[in-house]
Chains A and B, each alone.
Chain A
């Protein structure tokens, strides 16, 4: 049985949880989903739409707000009782905060940030990136079950989560959480404009290179970025010339990114740039030179004049939205 730990904050389900459900379902084993908090019943109902055996509801006042101490304690109890073979989380900041501690408490290891699952030799293998996405490893969990893993955001499409024909059964699980033993005292979360752009968090990136010829042409690319709700990035020469700030640079002297979608516009694909974005899930190259090295890593390519293609793409996305 695979246990999926769904994530919620302020009574709102984090949609990435569906990705984890989808991944678990792929294995064909029985799947149960756990949701924890202070009265997370609405979320449990949402999750019950999935084609899973059960949704386990862990309801305790000490679990709101989230603290690592509280969650480690609560989920550990669930795992001990339910005895799954595999426990899966989405690889979110919250997961990173408490799941490793939980695994250690249960004398296990968490295999984080996995991009794939496969069966091999009768066992399960997890696939995860290493060395900043330069390599990929096939990893086998060792030792007795349960095994723990977290899944990279965006690696398993949420849309594939299979809906059940009838809602899954919901069951309350009692946990004993000593509120006094929780050492963290969190204050209310607040929003703040971040100083620097963090491209590593972006799901979609539109990157521009020398092909743009001049800073005054940047709006062409910015239009596409806006239509895609993507972050704008650039290759080294663009930032060098000051057309975009250095924190938008992708490559060996800038940031290394692995978004779901990376569109490289007018970028030749010098190795210094490629090392910064090769790990992207889907790469599109738009360049007038069919021999440009970017096409060695691109999944899709359009050879042509970016000044015609990019506006056409922006329009096509607009049309696509409205249909």
Chain B
């Protein structure tokens, strides 16, 4: 059994497999987990407010084992922001009540969970990326890890190590939001036929140390409104972690229309709003990061089983976009997949049909129970904040019903309008900016430094742009190169061309924080994100 991805889904699946092996005895299974980060948890980033229900099922004595769930949520606040003011919601709707939940660091949680998995006897191999799926006829028979030791020019270096073929009866794909392996599997077997297109959001987050006493530990704040326009999906969050540490962030739907929209700028503006600025002033930003989130909900989840493979976690899209929670659902999906895969291997039936029992378990179990009522929430925001808000409120009562079910949905990159379309012909508009003072607000390059992201410099770019001509011609004309704005890490730049006149695309691949936004949002869909040499990427301590 092979698990690709060391996030909550993959780790839960691994742990569950170990448990099943211990409980049910019989011939021991060999299980291995691959994680592309240099160490456990390094690529894990989330707000995060954790619903502990799945954890309690998986590891009932998590408290005794020292799980890093130290901060109980004590207060939920919702605000609507305008440029200078805030309006607090007098009532906290049910989905936003977090009593019984915990404010956690997903990075620390993943580190702890990895330690549990390893104590249970399962090998976790960090620094190894799954680069392609291996097939035999139409069955997935394993994964090939990425080559290492290839130079920037594509030539093998003296340290070259070819990727390793790892064969497994069942491969669990837990490669995260817009996972590169999941992407190919879905394409190959048409797993998304008949499903709504997946839609995403980008979450940008900073960890701050602030002077004591400003925000009680366990306070959870969510905001809507400024700096987003009514037509844009998203909002801000502030979670008080304790020890005068706060997690501050902003989520922006990756289905905005305005081609000049810049999520990083939106985040800076959010921080400058009095509600946030008064909290952060005299504090210090200690970490930065960004990651995409799957927002499409129930209808956007593809078929998650194929012969020899199962898809779990964010890679499938098990995220509750109303409650803004996905960790516990990722864990549950991992546990279900483990159950099904375990039995399937025992019976030696690895066909798609047999593995399809995973889909059945999802249908019959708590995952659908939670996701079904909110299946159209994200899509309802297509009409803007007001319609989304109204529908979401209504859905609390109606269980998500709508005349058209699924609600019409479009892939986010298709919704972006051209500059001419959005601003009108001949209108000269500049992309938005936010003042940078490097104490409260930062430029992307400074921020990236605090993500700890590092890659071996001498390797080919892992951001494969299929046709860079489009960048300097059509895209520049039509959209003004949105990659310059939607990438939170300053990976893409348009610079003067090396030879001759004009401009060209310059890719700073080693700034990449593996958020996947570019793969998702580029209007021409010519950017393909593949894992860089294993071990490279951010170092999200405490995130």
CA A275 to CA B449, docked complex, whole Å? 10
Asked if B496 is at the interface (CB within 8 A of a chain A CB), the reply is: yes
Say which residue of A214, A236, A237, A246 sits within 8 Å of B458 (CB atoms).
Answer: A246
Residues of chain B with a CB closer than 8 A to A272's CB: 445, 448-449
Say which residue of A240, A241, A253, A275 sits within 8 Å of B454 (CB atoms).
Answer: A253
For chain A, residues 234 to 293, give those with C-beta under 8 angstroms from any C-beta of chain B. 236-237, 240-241, 246, 252-253, 270-272, 275, 293
Asked whether, in the complex, the Cβ of A271 is within 8 Å of the Cβ of B458, the reply is no
Asked if B498 is at the interface (CB within 8 A of a chain A CB), the reply is: yes
Asked if A80 is at the interface (CB within 8 A of a chain B CB), the reply is: no
Total number of B residues with any Cβ neighbor in A under 8 Å: 13
CB nearest to A291 among chain B residues? B436
Q: Is the interface of A mostly helix, strand, loop or mixed?
A: helix
CB nearest to A273 among chain B residues? B445
Asked if B510 is at the interface (CB within 8 A of a chain A CB), the reply is: yes
- As a 0/1 sequence over residues 114 to 138 of chain A, the CB contacts with chain B under 8 angstroms (1 = contact) are 0000000000000000000000000
Residues of chain A with a CB closer than 8 A to B446's CB: 270-271
Asked if A213 is at the interface (CB within 8 A of a chain B CB), the reply is: yes
CA A7 to CA B490, docked complex, whole Å? 50
Residues of chain A with a CB closer than 8 A to B449's CB: 252, 271-272, 275
- As a 0/1 sequence over residues 438 to 469 of chain B, the CB contacts with chain A under 8 angstroms (1 = contact) are 10000001101100001001100000000000
Residues of chain A with a CB closer than 8 A to B454's CB: 252-253
CB nearest to A240 among chain B residues? B508
Residues of chain A with a CB closer than 8 A to B506's CB: 237, 240-241
Give the distance to chain B from A20, nearest Cβ to Cβ, in Å. 37
CA A80 to CA B445, docked complex, whole Å? 56
CA A84 to CA B457, docked complex, whole Å? 50
Given known contacts A252-B449, A253-B454, A270-B445, is B510 in contact with A213 (CB within 8 Å)? no
Residues of chain B with a CB closer than 8 A to A270's CB: 445-446
CB nearest to A246 among chain B residues? B457
CA A241 to CA B152, docked complex, whole Å? 12
CA A56 to CA B496, docked complex, whole Å? 64
Say which residue of B457, B496, B498 sits within 8 Å of A253 (CB atoms).
Answer: B457
CA A252 to CA B458, docked complex, whole Å? 14
Give the distance to chain A from B98, nearest Cβ to Cβ, in Å. 36
CB nearest to B442 among chain A residues? A271
Asked whether, in the complex, the Cβ of A241 is within 8 Å of the Cβ of B498, the reply is yes
CA A236 to CA B498, docked complex, whole Å? 16
- As a 0/1 sequence over residues 41 to 53 of chain B, the CB contacts with chain A under 8 angstroms (1 = contact) are 0000000000000
Given known contacts A271-B446, A272-B449, is B457 in contact with A213 (CB within 8 Å)? no
CA A62 to CA B454, docked complex, whole Å? 50
Give the distance to chain A from B514, nearest Cβ to Cβ, in Å. 17
Asked whether, in the complex, the Cβ of A213 is within 8 Å of the Cβ of B445, the reply is no
Residues of chain B with a CB closer than 8 A to A275's CB: 449
CA A253 to CA B511, docked complex, whole Å? 10
CA A213 to CA B497, docked complex, whole Å? 10
Give the distance to chain B from A164, nearest Cβ to Cβ, in Å. 51
Give the distance to chain A from B527, nearest Cβ to Cβ, in Å. 19
Residues of chain A with a CB closer than 8 A to B510's CB: 253
For chain B, residues 501 to 533, give those with C-beta under 8 angstroms from any C-beta of chain A. 506, 508, 510
CA A270 to CA B436, docked complex, whole Å? 13
CB nearest to B493 among chain A residues? A237
Asked whether, in the complex, the Cβ of A213 is within 8 Å of the Cβ of B496, the reply is yes
CA A272 to CA B449, docked complex, whole Å? 7
Residues of chain B with a CB closer than 8 A to A240's CB: 506, 508
Give the distance to chain B from A189, nearest Cβ to Cβ, in Å. 29
Residues of chain A with a CB closer than 8 A to B438's CB: 293
Residues of chain B with a CB closer than 8 A to A293's CB: 438
CA A60 to CA B508, docked complex, whole Å? 59
CB nearest to B443 among chain A residues? A270
CA A37 to CA B446, docked complex, whole Å? 53
Give the distance to chain A from B383, nearest Cβ to Cβ, in Å. 41
Give the distance to chain A from B257, nearest Cβ to Cβ, in Å. 32
Give the distance to chain A from B511, nearest Cβ to Cβ, in Å. 9
Residues of chain A with a CB closer than 8 A to B448's CB: 272
CA A270 to CA B458, docked complex, whole Å? 21
Give the distance to chain B from A211, nearest Cβ to Cβ, in Å. 13
Give the distance to chain B from A209, nearest Cβ to Cβ, in Å. 13
Interface centre among B445, B454, B496, by most A CB within 10 Å? B445
CA A29 to CA B448, docked complex, whole Å? 50
CA A43 to CA B207, docked complex, whole Å? 60
For chain A, residues 282 to 322, give those with C-beta under 8 angstroms from any C-beta of chain B. 293
- As a 0/1 sequence over residues 188 to 221 of chain A, the CB contacts with chain B under 8 angstroms (1 = contact) are 0000000000000000000000000110000000
Give the distance to chain B from A40, nearest Cβ to Cβ, in Å. 45
Asked whether, in the complex, the Cβ of A271 is within 8 Å of the Cβ of B457, the reply is no
CB nearest to B508 among chain A residues? A240
CA A39 to CA B256, docked complex, whole Å? 82
CA A241 to CA B458, docked complex, whole Å? 13
Residues of chain B with a CB closer than 8 A to A246's CB: 457-458
Give the distance to chain A from B427, nearest Cβ to Cβ, in Å. 29
Interface centre among A214, A241, A253, by most B CB within 10 Å? A253
CB nearest to A272 among chain B residues? B449
CA A213 to CA B496, docked complex, whole Å? 8
- As a 0/1 sequence over residues 411 to 422 of chain B, the CB contacts with chain A under 8 angstroms (1 = contact) are 000000000000
CA A108 to CA B510, docked complex, whole Å? 45
Give the distance to chain A from B452, nearest Cβ to Cβ, in Å. 10
Give the distance to chain A from B266, nearest Cβ to Cβ, in Å. 22
Give the distance to chain B from A7, nearest Cβ to Cβ, in Å. 37
List 9 additional contacts besides A241-B498, A246-B457; criterion CB under 8 Å: A241-B506, A252-B454, A253-B454, A253-B457, A270-B445, A270-B446, A271-B446, A272-B445, A275-B449
- By a beta-carbon cutoff of 8 Å, the part of chain A in contact with chain B is 213-214, 236-237, 240-241, 246, 252-253, 270-272, 275, 293
| 5 cross-chain pairs, A with B, having the tightest CB-CB distances, nearest first | A271-B449, A270-B445, A271-B446, A253-B457, A272-B449
A-B contact pairs, 12 of them (CB 8 A): A237-B506, A240-B506, A241-B498, A241-B506, A246-B458, A252-B449, A253-B454, A253-B457, A253-B510, A271-B446, A271-B449, A275-B449
